Amino acid sequence: MQKRPILTALGSVVAIATGILASPAAAMAANPATISNPMQTVCLQPAGKSTERGVLILQATCDGSAAQRWTRDGLHYINLGSGLCLAAGHVPTEAGHIQTSQWPCNRNSELNWESGSSVPGAVTSLISRISGTRDKCLELPGGFPAAGNGAWLSRCNGGLAQQWLIPG
């Protein structure tokens, strides 16, 4: 007769442990409005949380602010703090990489992006459709997240530096 209460208690412990272990995944899926690295240590935002056009997009410690929140509208990713679109092609670096910035949303191709996956909340690449191409992906410079660094385009290679959690 005592076996049933012990099994019930054991089942409760397993259910609680499963809930605790599932929480990090649920938390990652619950915040799909940022463009962040898979470890969610940095999120993309306009420099200084600016609302001005042409401002570079930088990595910053994730804080949930409107400047770090993005929404997807077709091929555009729109920053909720500025109302401007994620853009590529306006600011090349000395090494020839294409730096990202924010610009008014329009039909220009440097504002067009495609997800490498159709699964909402998946870790995926973010492919630039600049000039109708599909060979440049958004990348963390140096291959690692670091607050203050930008985000640029490089030839798509499927590497970890090109993997993002993005709004669906």
pLDDT in tens, 98-130: 899 999 999 999 999 999 987 766 789 999 999
Q: What is the pLDDT of residues 8-50, one digit of tens each?
A: 333 333 333 333 333 333 233 334 589 998 877 899 999 999 9
As to burial, measured by CB atoms within 10 angstroms (0-12 exposed, 13-18 middle, 19+ buried), residue 168 is middle
Closest CA to 91 of 22, 155, 150, 9: 150
Give the residues across from 45 on adjacent strands. 58
pTM beyond 0.85: the answer is no
